[in-house]
Chains A and B, each alone.
Chain A
């Protein structure tokens, strides 16, 4: 089955620790994205990548980092510099920036 997989579904971390969220796709999509979803707000773009070994900051990149070493993978690291990391994180991919995006199931991160 083709699709986009995020893991884990739920993640708990202590304050001050870095944590990495996984995102893998086997759709052969060039573009990948990370969004953050908070209650009562629209999705906000953290980082995006149009092609392997290249990525760009989105609207709320501070406190986050990404890598795109392989076409299939786009992991997101939430660093201790992120002031309010507890949120629902969604990874998505698309053929290009001008086509519809397919989303993973999301990772709910709780920092205690």
Chain B
């Protein structure tokens, strides 16, 4: 079956580093996306990985291991505005549709 797992909620301190994990089991794989979603708002694109390794983009980095069915989003120098849900989505190669995880709610404390 198709399944994407993320922790439901995480808490971190302003200025610190946090890693949000995502594991997936899908029938095919053609890329993994991370989106940020503030409460009641639209998801916004953060990163895309299709090859193994780390992609760095400012304070945010995303890692992929296809053999392990695993990705993580790393957020550095946390700011209060980073309080949001982080959604992991896998694109299947059969029909290019996205399979979405339930999201991880990240709470930043001062």
Contact = CB atoms under 8 A, between A and B. Distances in A.
Contacts of A58: 97
Interface in A77-105: 88, 90, 97-98, 100-105
Interface in B6-49: 8, 30-31, 33, 40-45, 48
A109 to B, nearest CB: 13
Contact of A42 (B33, B97, B102): B102
A43 interface: yes
A45 B102 CA distance: 13
B41 A42 contact: no
A40 interface: yes
Contacts, number: 47
A42 B43 contact: no
A75 interface: no
Nearest to B43: A103
Main secondary structure of the interface of B (DSSP, over half): loop
B87 interface: yes
Contact of B41 (A43, A98, A100, A105): A105
Contact of A98 (B30, B44, B99, B100): B30
Contact of B87 (A42, A45, A100, A106): A42
B42 A90 contact: yes
A41 interface: yes
Query: Which of A44, A58, A100, A103 gathers the greatest number of chain B CB atoms within 10 Å?
Result: A100
17 contacts: A40-B8, A42-B4, A42-B87, A42-B103, A43-B43, A43-B98, A43-B100, A45-B97, A88-B40, A98-B31, A98-B91, A101-B45, A101-B98, A103-B42, A105-B41, A105-B42, A106-B42
